[in-house]
Amino acid sequence: MGYKTEWFRGIFPALVTPFTRDDRLDEAAFRALIRHVLPHVDGVVPCGTTGEFSYMTLEERKRLVEICLDEVNGRVPVLAGTGAPSTRDTIALTQHARDAGATGALVVAPYFLKPSFNEVYDHYRALDALGFPIVLYNIPQCAGTHFRWWTAEGMALDFENVVGIKDSSGDLPFMEALFEKVKGRIGIFVGHDEVVQAALAAGADGAILASANLIPDIWQAVYQATLAGDLATAQEWQQKVQKLVRIVVQCSSTQAVKEGLRMMGLTMSDSRHPIMPGGGFRREDYEELRMQLEALGKIPARTVTYDLGTQQVQTAVAATPHTPDVVSGWTLRVGEGFAGPPFQELAHIDLLMGRKDGPVGRAIERSLAGWGEARGLQVIRQRPLTLLVPTVTVRTARQRRLLYEHAAEGINLAIQANIDSGFLPEAILDDLALIVNVFVHPAASIAKRIVFNNYKAGIQAIRKAIESRPTLDELFNEKVAARHPFRYAP
């Protein structure tokens, strides 16, 4: 029978793996990441799913475990991801982890060729024979097969060295079955960031999480509150980070975490291909992730100078590496914002920003004096002067309401949010004009979603206009893979 160990409890981040520009392991950045999380965690996992283990050579994986052990230096347990499709590779990696001094091995169910259960059983039996603590790992989203409770129970009871299971399925009925069958006999960890608090409250011993790279302190607070029986506090934190972790879980976790760490000021590469920026982790997810990290106070402030020619304004903003130190060229700045779901309520904003005495201000003046009323233009704000331009013909009272009340409300909130966060400093509001082209789908129905999506798209469009995003590098990197949704026939 397996056993329960003292070290397998608490919060373990599934560390991302930084790579250098020439695509080797970035040892320095990896060590810095470990130092970033270490004060808040009970253990670390190198070479997990979030660590892109399946994109690394066996040599790289071994090396990464060694670096991790060296940097951690015994302060917390190191649970090395050693899973591979074949038993042969899994044994080699697990042996290495054992001999290098890791605390245990996290072993994903063998994937891709979909071995039957008795083959999976023998796979773990072979690992058990190494005499090294094994944590079973269920992640059907990637592995394609979902452990059944009797699988987990069978292996937990039959094998001497199984000390735990990590369940990333998010399937709480499955987790409850694990509690029923093996609680107290082995450690049970949750691996799905969206249900951490629920799983801990229900009896999980800890959590291995992608988002614990970003917010290890918050997960530690959730864990401590749960241990102390303070469910209200634990719930409050979970709800506060719910959107952040949903983005991480559902949108290419590895790239999402890496982008988030960069926003927070760490040195971090993109994921290895075929994961890429603007892919599963979409551009709108980037903006949303940024807003969430900003709301949690995770993005450090920096002073940026806006050079309007006539005046120079300094403003402190939560800046990312993309935010320039000096923003000049206020004649005409262009920004685009895009937010969903759902399809029919999605917001798409084309925004122009510039000085009132430049092309933007002049265009507003002329259009209002000319075709403004006939074409449904509306000034929705004076500071900054903001012109709403509908891009779809309004045919019904409902469309009118959705556009002039709800979309306009969303855009107004977005402008206010950028004023409050310093991106639109008070000192420039009298000199600034915005033209906002707004799309509301003719079949849209959910009013609040129109508000929210236009709010998000509005924040993005304004920031992208100020920061000149996407950058030329982003355009060059993604131009080949770009996939315009309307480019294809139904």
Q: Give me the active site residues, please.
A: 137, 166
Shorter beta-carbon distance to another protein: residue 113 or 482 = 482
Report the site for another protein in 259-318 (rule: CB under 8 A).
278, 282-284
Under rule CB under 8 A, residue 435 binds another protein: yes
Residues 401 and 398: their CA atoms lie apart, in Å, by 5
Helix 447-467 and helix 408-420, axial crossing angle in degrees, nearest 10: 40
313-347 CB burial, b ≥16 within 10 A, e <16:
eebebbbbebbeeebeebeebebbbbbbeeeebbb
Single out the residue of 92, 102, 39 nearest to residue 66, CA to CA.
102
Under rule CB under 8 A, residue 377 binds another protein: yes
Candidate segments 65-73, 245-253, 260-268, 472-480, binder of another protein by CB under 8 A: 472-480
Under rule CB under 8 A, residue 487 binds another protein: yes
Count residues binding another protein (CB under 8 A): 56
Single out the residue of 457, 416, 463 nearest to residue 318, CA to CA.
463
Shorter beta-carbon distance to another protein: residue 21 or 484 = 484
Candidate segments 53-61, 90-98, 226-234, 348-356, binder of another protein by CB under 8 A: 348-356
Report the site for another protein in 396-425 (rule: CB under 8 A).
none
Contacts of 18 (CB under 8 A, 6+ apart): 25, 26, 29, 30, 33, 258, 267, 268, 269
Under rule CB under 8 A, residue 354 binds another protein: yes
Contacts of 20 (CB under 8 A, 6+ apart): 26, 269
Shorter beta-carbon distance to another protein: residue 274 or 490 = 490
Least gap, CB of 305 to another protein (angstroms):
17
Least gap, CB of 365 to another protein (angstroms):
10
Separation in Å, CA 411 to CA 128, 252, 349: 59, 29, 9
Q: Which helix (H) or strand (E) holds 395?
A: none
Under rule CB under 8 A, residue 376 binds another protein: yes
Shorter beta-carbon distance to another protein: residue 223 or 286 = 286
Least gap, CB of 464 to another protein (angstroms):
7
Report the site for another protein in 225-254 (rule: CB under 8 A).
none
Residues 234 and 200 sit within 8 Å (Cβ to Cβ) = yes
Under rule CB under 8 A, residue 458 binds another protein: no
Least gap, CB of 484 to another protein (angstroms):
4
Alpha helices in 271-395 (DSSP H): 283-295, 359-369
DSSP assignments along 305-340, one per residue: EEE-SS-EEEEEEE--TTS-SEE---S-EEEEEEE-
Residues 267 and 37: their CA atoms lie apart, in Å, by 14
Under rule CB under 8 A, residue 489 binds another protein: yes
Under rule CB under 8 A, residue 195 binds another protein: no
Helix 172-182 and helix 149-158, axial crossing angle in degrees, nearest 10: 30
Which of 232, 326, 397, 443 forms a contact with another protein (CB under 8 A)?
443
Residue 35 structure tokens: 């130092």
Residues at the site binding another protein, with contacts judged by CB under 8 A: 278, 282-284, 329, 331-332, 334-336, 338, 348, 350, 352, 354, 358-360, 362-364, 366-367, 371-372, 375-377, 387, 389-393, 435, 437, 442-443, 464, 468, 470, 472, 474-476, 478-479, 482-490
